[in-house]
Structure 1
């Protein structure tokens, strides 16, 4: 892609992210055709927003895909009411665990070991990823278009700290959702088998690109129950197995 096309695509997506408006897929010269082009657009959005990166969402790569996107500081919250875009009368969320880094993992020549990454994780928190796309619902965006747009991330809500050892062992985690008259138990399974695996991949991927994890950043590595739709302006409680409970209510952005 020509740099002008990358910038045009990034301007479109950054403007929609700020306004909350959805629109058509990127088209013509502005449509990414490769992973590198999609990531270049994603980086362009970061630069245009001029926003700090509070963390990352990631998943294990596969089938020619890389799964990572920045979570912006202005959309990371740790208290309610939590601002969110409301679509169709609901806020779309994903229940996750967030790995928090007090000191960070700076870029360096040699790879980080599993033990080094674990030592750098200063805490684990219950979390809800806030889900939203900058594209119209129909037609469904391709993976490359979604990657350019930040993989449907609109923000992150960080909840209580939980036991680190228990969190690392949580390959399955029943999610109980209570809101109003709703009381639903979801059989949660981590999509990577273990919550740490995508984090280890992300650390190495960023290192190879000359980047690192910064102090205070948080990383989420996959939803235990897919998308959970919650009503705004009505308190909701999500119990993460034996780890703990997160309570939230949303305010419309």
Structure 2
């Protein structure tokens, strides 16, 4: 049984307030907790309305049993700055930040809602560039550990923004080594692999999911589709150097505000 429209609005109002204030909180009141994926999607959409912020992109992954991995990335939370100011610490210390190493597909053309599904070639033609990116992770829940998936989905699946890096020097790949170094510390390297087999697979799915919901994608929006190296906890206040196996190299420093 789904929660009522009034309770969807109540949940969205609370989650939007936490984003605006920078103060996470406990689980939502039991009466307005989303019970299923459709509830969670409706809360997500209501959060967007409550915030009044432009959607600058999306995060997505292929759906699985009991999981719908999709969430808006709000324009004010997208940064290209070498010194990236992060809104607030949530589930980490003030001296660290959780990020995910990803690729971002930046659209050069609209993929609007329509009846006919989009072919992969049509989606590819709408992509203007593929960039290295870092998803900035945080939750509006004080302790998101173990929460039911719909409650996490309602909050945008710990997305707190995206740092958009340089465009790739070669076509995107399903696997490549990811190296990073913080200040003068020894560099670390992992064998990166996209969790859905190829980074474009969730993009193709998202274009048709949003099409079916009457939304669509817009030129200028970005889409991130999954981490090649899981969640990394990196220090704030230090220069971070990343190397995506020569596909892209960049430096960024995270600061708190």
TM tier, smaller? over 0.9
**Superimposed CA distance per residue, residues 90-136 of structure 1 (whole angstroms, 9 cap, x where no aligned partner):** 11100000001012211112111111111110100000000001112
User: 1:44-63 to 2 correspondence within 5 Å?
Assistant: 44-63=46-65
Unmatched segments (≥5 aa) in structure 1: none
Q: Which residue of 1 aligns with 2:80?
A: 78
Task: Output the CA distance in 2 between the equivalents of 1:179 and 1:241.
Answer: 17
Q: Which residue of 2 aligns with 1:225?
A: 229
Which of 107, 110, 113 is matched with 1:104 structurally?
110
Give the aligned length.
250
Which of 185, 203, 206 is matched with 2:210 structurally?
206
What is the alpha-carbon root mean square deviation over aligned residues?
1.2
> Would the aligned equivalents of 2:203 and 2:223 in 1 still touch at CA under 8 Å?
yes
**What TM-score comes out, normalization by structure 1 length?**
0.96
The 3-state SS of whatever aligns with 1:173 is strand
User: 1:27-176 to 2 correspondence within 5 Å?
Assistant: 27-84=29-86, 85-86=88-89, 87-88=92-93, 89-137=95-143, 139-163=145-169, 166-167=171-172, 170-176=173-179
Task: Output the CA distance in 1 between the equivalents of 2:12 and 2:176.
Answer: 37
Q: Which residue of 2 aligns with 1:192?
A: 196
Unmatched segments (≥5 aa) in structure 2: none
Q: Larger deviation: 93-102 or 25-34?
A: 25-34
Per-residue deviation, 1:139: 4.8
> Would the aligned equivalents of 1:106 and 1:212 in 2 still touch at CA under 8 Å?
yes
Q: Which residue of 2 aligns with 1:26?
A: 28
CA 1:119 to 1:90, structure 2 compared with 1: closer, same or farther past 3 Å? Answer: same
Task: Output the CA distance in 2 between the equivalents of 1:225 and 1:65.
Answer: 21
**Superimposed CA distance per residue, residues 186-240 of structure 1 (whole angstroms, 9 cap, x where no aligned partner):** 1111000100100000001011111110110000000001111111121101111
> Would the aligned equivalents of 1:176 and 1:183 in 2 still touch at CA under 8 Å?
yes
**What TM-score comes out, normalization by structure 2 length?**
0.94
Task: Output the CA distance in 1 between the equivalents of 2:224 and 2:149.
Answer: 19
> Would the aligned equivalents of 2:144 and 2:152 in 1 still touch at CA under 8 Å?
no
Per-residue deviation, 1:64: 2.3
> Would the aligned equivalents of 1:58 and 1:221 in 2 still touch at CA under 8 Å?
yes
